[in-house]
Structure formats: structure tokens, C-alpha cells
Structure 1
Amino acid sequence: MKNILVAVDFSRLSDRAMDYALSFARRYDSTVIAAHVISPALYATPSAASMYGGIESLPYLDGVRRELTHRLEE
């Protein structure tokens, strides 16, 4: 197995999935690819949707990128 794709949303359960994927990757010399996912329920209200829309999402995505990079480098 060369690549392992892990969906993360920074929940406790996705943290466990990431830990498992990293452990598996070390054992089999695989690459972990982390994909940040957002629940469609977050778009249920206009105020929630605005949190992820337009230019305002860039700082949020930068934070996600930093967090995932940190987790993958551990």
C-alpha cells in the first residue's frame, strides 16, 4: 500500500483515525494524505455558510493546513 487517505475534521474520532493511519503508514512505509472535511450541515444556515464562504475562508484554511502539517510531521 503506497498511499493512505484520511478524512479529518479535528474531532476526537478523526484524531484516532489519523493516529491509526500514521501508525499503519510507518509500519508499511506508506504516505498519508489528509483531507479536511466539513459536514454539509454546516451550510444549513446563512450565518454558518458565511463562515466558510468567499475570501473569509482563507485564514481558516491556512489554520487547517498548519494543523494538518503539524500532525503529519509528528
Structure 2
Amino acid sequence: MKTLLVAHDFDETSDRALDQAIDLARKLGASVKVLHVYSVPIYAFPEGSAYIPSAADAAQIADAAQRHLDHVLKTRRAASPDITFEGLLRAGMTAEEICKQADEIDADIIVIGTHGRGAIGRAILGSVAQQVMRHARQPVLSVRSA
């Protein structure tokens, strides 16, 4: 294994997944690519109208996501100078983009945090981790929240 892709959404569970990936990368001599996928919300209303954010709004969302990703990478690089890190920022549907990026970078494994919701929570909210596990061509390591 040479490349680990870590999906990160800036929460504690993602931090745990990233820490697991770093430990694994250290043992394997692999690099870690940290991916954050954001979406620009579009709201449709019953009467047929919709709110579509302006280009400035979309740019503001992307800039904030990039700042958070840079912070995550900066702290991990400082703590693990022996690991090569790269940040990837993409817009789109989260699970779909994770699988797409894993293919594009030829990742050997995807590491993703999961909140461990029960069956009802998954049925109502869905699970990005579950979708990635179903559709990814690579093995997926899911890391549960504490």
C-alpha cells in the first residue's frame, strides 16, 4: 500500500480516522491524502422557485473549506513529519466524490469515520460511510466515533 485516502469532514470522528490512517501509513511507508468534499446548497421551494447561491457565496464556502483543510494538514504535518500529506478539496456529493477521487489517485485504501448511528438513524439520514463501502472499488476502513 502506497496511498491512503482519508475522507475528512472536520469533526472528531474524522480526526480519529485520520489518526488511524497516519499510524497505518507510518507502518507501510505510505502517503496520506486527505479529502474534504463540500456542497453548495441549493434550495427548491414547492411553488417552483429556488434559491441558488451566487458565485461569491460558492467561493466563500470553498475558501472556508480550504482554510479548515489547511489547518488539519498543518497540525498533522507538524505532529508527523515522516508522513507525506496532500490535501484534496472537491465540491459535490460526498460519497460519490470520495469513490471518484479514490479511483483518480489510485488509492490503495479509503479510511473514513462513521458515527455509528443505529438502523433508524441510517434509514433516516443515510450514511456516507455505508455508501462508500457499497460503491468503492478499494477496501474501506471505517473508524467509529469514540
- Larger strand fraction of residues: 2
Equivalent residue runs for 1:1-74 within 5 Å:
1-38=1-38, 43=41, 45=43, 46=51, 53=58, 55-73=59-77, 74=79
In structure 1, runs of 5+ residues without a counterpart are none
CA RMSD across the alignment = 2.7
- For the 8 Å contact 1:8–1:35, the answer to whether it is kept is yes
- For the 8 Å contact 2:10–2:68, the answer to whether it is kept is no
TM-score calculated relative to the size of structure 2: 0.39
- Percent sequence identity over aligned pairs: 28
Question: After superposition, what is the alpha-carbon deviation per residue over 1:1-56, rounded to whole angstroms, capped at 9, x for unaligned?
Answer: 00000000111111110000000000110000000123x5x72645xx66961x32
Deviation for aligned residue 1:61: 3.7
Match of 2:24, as an amino acid?
A: F
TM-score calculated relative to the size of structure 1: 0.70
Aligned residues: 70
* Matched position secondary structure for 1:34: strand
* Matched position secondary structure for 1:6: strand
* Matched position secondary structure for 2:4: strand
Larger Rg: 2
* Matched position secondary structure for 1:10: coil
Match of 1:59, as an amino acid?
A: D
- For the 8 Å contact 1:36–1:64, the answer to whether it is kept is no
